[in-house]
Structure 1
Amino acid sequence: MKKINTFWNWFQDNNQTIKNLINETPKNQKHISFWINKNLSYYCKEIDFMIVFPKNGNTRSELIITANGNPEYFNQVIDLVDNAPQLKNWKFTAFIQPTERVDKIIEGFDEPYIFQEITLKASELKFLTLDYDEETQKLDIIIFFKHFNIHCNNKTLNQAIYIILQDLLGEKSLYQNINLIHLAQMPDNAEELVYLHDLQSFIDTFI
C-alpha cells in the first residue's frame, strides 16, 4: 500500500504538468513520459500506462493502467486504480477497454488500421472457433482476411491482429477468453464465418 500511495502522491503533485503533456515540445513530452514510467515502475515494473486526452468539449484526461495483457499483474493494476485519488480533471481506468466505435465497425464505416505496409479494417475480418479448452475456459480461433497470402510471412501481421482484437474485446477479455489465434486467407464463400466485431457477443453466449 505504501508504494501505491507514493505513486499517487507523486501523480497528484504533477498532474497539471502531465495533463498539459500534449501541448509540450517532443523533447518535454519524452521527459515527462519518462518520469511517469519511472514512478510507475517503483510500484510495479511490469505494468504500463496510456493517456487519453480530452476532446469534444470533455475536460477530463484519462490515465489507463495496463498489464500489457499479462494476467500475472492484473491484480496490481486493479489495486492501483482502486486506490486512485479523486481528481476533478482526471479519470483513472484499469486495463485497455473495448472500443466505443463498434457501431461504425458494424456499419463498415470504421477507419482502417495501418501497420507499415499492412492495412486492415476490423469490419472486414471474420473468424471461426477451432477449439474450446474446458480447463482454461479459453477459445482457439482462426481469423480470416483478404490478402493473407501476401502478408503471411510479415512479422507485423500478428501484432496488428493482436491490437485489433484488444480494441474489440479489451485487454482483460482478450487474455481471459482467447488462447491461440490462427490466421488464414478469406475463402471465396465466407457466409459460414462470423464477423470479428461479434466475437465478444459470441464469447458471452458460449463461455
Structure 2
Amino acid sequence: MRKINTFWNWFQDNNQTIKNLINETPKNQKHISFWINKNLSYYCKEIDFMIVFPKNGNTRSEFIITANGNPEYFNQVIDLVDNSPKLKNWKFTAFIHPMENIEKVMAGLDKPYVFQDITLKASELKFMAINYEENIQKLDIIIFFKYFNIHCNNKTLNQAIYIILQDLIGEKSLYQNINLIHLAQMPDNTEELIYLHDLQSFIDTFI
C-alpha cells in the first residue's frame, strides 16, 4: 500500500505537468513520459500507462493503467486504480477497454492505424478460429489481411495486430479468451472468414 500511495502522491504533485504533456515539445514529452514510467516502475515494473487527452470540450484526461495483457499483473493494475485519488481533471482506468465507436469500424469508416511503415484498417481484417483449447478455454485464431506477404518479416506487425485487438475487444478479453494468434495473407475466397470486429460476438457465442 505504501508504494501505491507513493506513486499517487507523486502523480498529484505533477498532474498539471502531465496533463499538459500533449502541448509540450517532443523533447519535453519524452522527459515527462520517462518520469511517469520511472515512478510507475517503483510500484510495479511490469505495468505501463496510456494517456487519452480530452476531445470535444471534455475537460478530463484519462490515465489508463495496463498490464500489457499479462494476467499475472492484473491485480496490481486493479489495486493501483482502486486507490487512485479524486482529481477534477482526471479519470483513472484499469486496463485498455474496447473502443466505443465500433460502429464506425463495422461501417468501414474507421481511420487506419499507422505503425511506422505498416498501415492497417481494423474494418478490413478478418479471422478464422482454428482450435479451441478446452483445458484453458481459449481460442487459437488466424487473422488475415491483404498485405501480409509484404509485411510478414516486419517486427512491428505483431505489435500492431495486438494493439488493434485490444481496441476491438479490450485487454482482459484478449488474454482471457485468445490463446494463439497466427497471421496470414487474405485469401481470394473469404466466404468462411469473419470480420475481426465481430470477434467479441464470436467469443460470447462460442466460449
TM-score (norm 1): 0.95
Q: Which whole-Å deviations, capped at 9, do the CAs of 1:164-200 have from their partners, x for residues lacking one?
A: 1111111111111111111122222211211000001
Q: Which whole-Å deviations, capped at 9, do the CAs of 1:132-178 have from their partners, x for residues lacking one?
A: 11111110001111122222232222222112111111111111111
Write out aligned runs for 1:36-55 (5 A). 36-55=36-55
CA positional deviation for 1:111 = 0.9
Write out aligned runs for 1:70-85 (5 A). 70-85=70-85
Root-mean-square deviation (CA, aligned residues, Å) is: 1.3
The CA distance in 2 between the partners of 1:149 and 1:32, in whole Å, is 39
1:128 aligns with 2:118: no
The CA distance in 1 between the partners of 2:48 and 2:156, in whole Å, is 21
Q: Which amino acid aligns with 1:7?
A: F
Q: 1:24 to 1:202 in 2, by over 3 A?
A: same
Aligned position for 1:144? 144
1:177 aligns with 2:177: yes
The CA distance in 1 between the partners of 2:182 and 2:146, in whole Å, is 14
Aligned position for 1:198? 198
1:19 aligns with 2:15: no
Question: How many residue pairs are counted as aligned between the two chains?
Answer: 207
The CA distance in 2 between the partners of 1:186 and 1:91, in whole Å, is 39
TM-score (norm 2): 0.95
Q: 1:184 to 1:31 in 2, by over 3 A?
A: closer
Write out aligned runs for 1:103-122 (5 A). 103-122=103-122
Q: 1:37 to 1:108 in 2, by over 3 A?
A: same
Q: Which amino acid aligns with 1:119?
A: T
CA positional deviation for 1:5 = 1.1
CA positional deviation for 1:39 = 1.3
The CA distance in 1 between the partners of 2:9 and 2:116, in whole Å, is 40
**Structure 2 unaligned spans of 5+:** none
The CA distance in 2 between the partners of 1:150 and 1:108, in whole Å, is 23
The CA distance in 2 between the partners of 1:153 and 1:22, in whole Å, is 33
The CA distance in 2 between the partners of 1:93 and 1:38, in whole Å, is 19
The CA distance in 2 between the partners of 1:35 and 1:117, in whole Å, is 29
When structure 1 is superposed on structure 2, of 180-189 and 56-65 the one drifting more is 180-189
Aligned position for 2:33? 33
SS at match of 1:128: strand
Aligned position for 1:95? 95
**Structure 1 unaligned spans of 5+:** none
CA positional deviation for 1:27 = 2.6
